[in-house]
Structure 1
Amino acid sequence: MTQIIVIAKEPVPGRVKSRLTPPFSPAQAALLAEAALADTLECVAATPAAQRVLALEGLPGPWLPPGFAVVPQRGGGLDERLAAAFADAHRLRPGPAVLIGMDTPQVTPALLRAAVDALSGHDAVYGPAADGGYWLLGLRVPDPALLLGVPMSSPDTGRVQLERLSGLRVFHLPELVDVDTADDAHRVAASAAGTRFAAALREASAGARDVAGTSAGAAR
């Protein structure tokens, strides 16, 4: 059976979701990141898998459910850290693996199950992101050459990654929106109103409006 890897950062203010500030404060951005991570981990926990691994930059917190092996992220650039996450998970339990990040709290167990099942008949699974990157990558055999050198956080990320997968049997998943900006956050929350992330966004947005109103009143 396929294993599932989540690659994530500890949601510490000032270290996560910097593109959400402004309009949100670093503390609010960290709470949004924590909610997104908790939603993602809950989804993974609800999906049948041979093993669940969290490749983490930082320390685990109360948002981590039981049943996850935690390994530290290794490498410099994101391409190196993704390759290392696949390699570390493979060392813990050899076999195919699906990797996702913490930026798509709208992901569902059905989507993850489709990715997991696809690797029984495909070499790779690819989930494109609306910003030109990707939200999921699954590999039947984790090969660092498929990842190392791919430009990350670029409009060309997805195109180059797919070029690396050329010649392989690739199963394509639906496109999702990564939460990078405030506009992204509102789009994602609208599509997944029952998530922790949507609730955290409603609270953060109300707080941001209160701060803006107080500042405007003080200026007058």
Structure 2
Amino acid sequence: MSGPHPATGPATLLVIAKEPVPGRVKTRLTPPYTPMEAAAIAEAALADTLHTVLKTPARRRVLVLDGAPGPWLPPGFDVLPQGSGGLDERIASAFAHCDRGPALLVGMDTPQLTADLLMGVGRDEYDAWFGPAADGGFWALGFAEPSRAEALVPGVPMSTDHTGAVQRRRLAEAGLNVRDLPVLLDVDTAADAVAVAACCPVGSRFATTLNSLAEVGR
């Protein structure tokens, strides 16, 4: 088993995301939302996530994107294309863009994310960081040595109710000292969206967008 990894300073923060194009994102929100509305909700979630990452001390900030950047992208990010293959392979390849030093990857489905939740990653004495999602997946994954992702992520079954358990077990079986982050709810369904909006910080683009759609009725 590896010992505690020495604190090395702020992590590289990666956001893996899909361009919010109607019909390509948040399809489980349709119905009750239209594809255009679902894309607006996805865009708000992504924008909130990116702005939270901007507020978090980082060595480098990277958007690993399937698609093209839009007006929702704030300055301060390197934008790199996602790799090929399944989500497990694309997550692993995202870490390949990192230099030595800690790196943490988050998705675009947890707009309730705050900078406080990410503080300390890379500065604490851990080999890995893991953020479980309420649906059995995970919302965050990080490594003190990003190259470990190449062996520990590919082959993990994605989008199942045991994805997170399999990934977490792999980290443990590799002997890594893991810091578990709080459980967060992903936005997959309309009910999820309402629950997440209620947890979002003041000024949330996601909550504002969802509330504006609710006002026009479904």
User: What TM-score, normalized to structure 1?
Assistant: 0.90
Residue matched to 1:83: 92
- Of 87, 111, 118 in structure 1, the residue corresponding to residue 117 of structure 2 is 111
**Count of aligned residue pairs for this structure pair:** 204
Choose between structure 1 and 2 for higher RCO, CA contacts under 8 A separated by at least 6 residues.
2
What is the CA RMSD across the aligned residues, in angstroms?
1.1
- Which one has a bigger Cα radius of gyration? 1
Distance 1:82 1:9 in 2: 13
1:2-151 matches, cutoff 5 A: 2-88=11-97, 90=98, 93-118=99-124, 121-142=125-146, 143=148, 144-151=150-157
Query: 1:192 offset after TM fit, Å?
Result: 1.2
Q: Is the 8 A contact 1:128 1:174 kept in 2?
A: yes
Residue matched to 1:154: 160
Query: 1:117 offset after TM fit, Å?
Result: 3.1
User: Can you give the 5+ residue segments of structure 2 that lack an aligned partner in the other structure?
Assistant: 1-9
List, as ranges, runs of 4+ consecutive aligned residues in structure 1 with deviation greater than 2 Å: 114-118
Q: Is the 8 A contact 1:56 1:72 kept in 2?
A: yes
Q: Which amino acid aligns with 1:14?
A: G
Q: Which amino acid aligns with 2:196?
A: V
Distance 2:213 2:94 in 1: 32
Query: 1:115 offset after TM fit, Å?
Result: 3.0
**1:199 equivalent in alignment to 2:203:** no
Q: Is the 8 A contact 2:41 2:206 kept in 1?
A: yes
Q: Which amino acid aligns with 2:56?
A: T
Residue matched to 1:215: none
Q: Percent identity?
A: 58
User: Can you give the 5+ residue segments of structure 1 that lack an aligned partner in the other structure?
Assistant: 213-220
Distance 2:30 2:81 in 1: 27
Partner of 1:205, secondary structure, is helix
Q: Is the 8 A contact 1:193 1:199 kept in 2?
A: no
Distance 1:25 1:158 in 2: 30
User: What TM-score, normalized to structure 2?
Assistant: 0.91
Q: Is the 8 A contact 2:14 2:106 kept in 1?
A: yes
Query: 1:94 offset after TM fit, Å?
Result: 2.7
Partner of 1:95, secondary structure, is coil
